Amino acid sequence: MKNQVQLITYVDRLGGQRDGADLVRLKRLLCEPGAPLAGVFGGVHLLPFFHAIDGADAGFDPIDHTQVDPRLGRWEDIKALTEGLDVMADVIVNHMSAESPQFLDYSEKGEASAYAGLFLTLDAVFPDGASEQGLLSVYRPRPGLPLTYATLKNGERRILWTTFTAAQIDIAVHHPQGRAYLSSILRTFADNGIRMVRLDAVGYAIKKAGDSCFMMPETFDFIGEFAAEARALGIEVLVEIHSYFQRQIEIASKVDWVYDFALPPLVLHAFSFGTAAALKRWIDIRPANALTVLDTHDGIGIIDIGADASDRAAHPGLVPPEELDALVDRIHDASQGQSRKATGAAASNLDLYQVNCTFFDAMGRDETAYLLARALQFFLPGVPQVYYVGLLAGHNDMDLLARTQVGRDINRHFYGDDEIARDCERPVVRRLIELIRLRNRHPAFGGSFQVEPSGDEALQLRWQQDADWALLRIDFATRAHELSFSGVGGARETFAFS
């Protein structure tokens, strides 16, 4: 993976028209000389582009994970995109659509189906019966049990394991059918030039009676096995887990890459409370093989800096619980209450651990603070990713939220070509693009990193390679700041945030 900033985007929500040429348009936007975003990014994470992109969870419930949705284009278009950019794609490990051919065959034939073992049922996990305590011990990121009562088309009744929604049926990943299904996805990706995958929802992939069914030792074993299979095909692996921060550190030793999901709430905490103390503690222990993000297609994680729910006293969070609660309220206030309408019980597809809001609105649309947050992200060790809405300093899409009543859609705007061109001329977006180019091109970022001494209210980060250097200083109490770097001939240059 190149040490350059990557873009995270849906193919159809950044200048798309769903007419079969969206992948071609995206390549033109990112690669064609003269296009607004030409040459800005070293790679792109394409959010689910599989058949179909408009299911129950915006493509994260694929009917056919090995088919490009024809409204976006073809595999040939993906392969063409990989010629100029690193391309990452999702392997949705935990589940597939209830409309998939495999599940429809199972529904029609029951135990006579060739796919009978592919889908998890309650008795597959609890063969001796499930006790109340056994079910209560299962961790789920949403209210209720991860189970759906279903009558199959052949009249048989089953209790299906559905971690997220009734439309997303969990896979038995250790069953021969489950292994074959996941392996076929990896092979298809490798054949079409994809060299990075994100394991979506992999923390829930292994189920075990009497346990949490989330990030257990058996889950770590599975992640290691699947990552080894991917590497054998020349594919790097990113693991997507929202959980207690120590889990990220543990996972990082087993895979190529993890997300730094603690960073977004810690950055907001630093600006909100005028202190870098919690952020510094995290920088001191965070894994270096991280993809740094401030925003993604999901919400802003709160669980990632909170205490471990299994034992809050023994495993405290990166910030005290009262400050975590206050931070959530301050995000709601900064967004003029809009995030409150998209978070928790206020909207469907709700999460217990995330605040749904664009990062720009979570920062109260303060352009200088927003650019400082991006600079901080780019200065931390790892590979930065910028979500397409964040790239364009996007606002909460309240119209889309009202239409879908899906909380995460507040941060999943559909941009047309004219809107992209117009937003790329906004000063905050122009400066962000300049900041991305600086991060991609300056040789200091290929050298050594250090946190220089400062008080709790401030953060000072330095990169150095031979005579080349880059320095970022932020005082969160006063908002004083500086980004300076070595220029041509060793001259000192500075970046203007406003």
Lookup result for tokens 């064609």: 32
Instruction: State the CB neighbour count (10 A cutoff) for residue 145.
Output: 15
**Residue 304 catalytic?**
no
> In Å, how far are 190, 349, 451 from 405, measured between CA atoms?
36, 8, 43
291 φψ region: left (φ > 0), alpha (ψ -120 to 50), beta (else): beta
Nearest residue to 153 via CA among 94, 117, 99: 99
Angle at 156 between CA 151 and CA 162, to 5 degrees: 50
Give the position of tokens 């769903």: 18
Could you say which of 61, 86, 90, 200 is catalytic? 200
Q: How far is CA 211 from CA 1, 125, 186, 475, in A?
A: 36, 11, 29, 45
* Residue 25 backbone zone (phi > 0: left; psi -120 to 50: alpha; other: beta): alpha
Check residue 207 and report its DSSP letter: -
Answer yes or no: are the C-beta atoms of 477 and 491 closer than 8 Å.
Answer: no
- Alpha-carbon distance 415 to 363, whole Å? 21
Helices (H), 238-366: 245-252, 263-273, 277-285, 321-334, 359-362
Residue 243 C-beta-side C-alpha neighbours within 13 Å: 21
**Cβ-contact 180, 189 below 8 angstroms:** no
B/e letters for 446-480, b = 16+ CB within 10 Å, e = fewer, are eeebebeeeeebbbbbbbeeeebbbbbbbbbeeee
Residue 149 phi/psi, 5-degree rounding, is -75, 130
22 has catalytic annotation: no
Tokens (6 digits) for 416 = 């047309």
| Tokens, residue 142 | 């949403």
Among candidate residues 22, 240, 361, 367, the one labeled active-site is 240
- Alpha carbon distance 387, 68 (integer Å): 21
- Identify the burial level of 267 via C-beta atoms within 10 angstroms of its C-beta, where 0-12 means exposed, 13-18 middle and 19 or more buried: buried
The residue count of the chain comes to 498
Instruction: Say how far apart CA 179 and CA 292 lie, in whole Å.
Output: 30
Structure tokens at 235: 């594919």
Nearest to 257 by CA among 452, 451, 45, 403: 45
Question: Which sequence positions are flagged as catalytic?
Answer: 200, 240
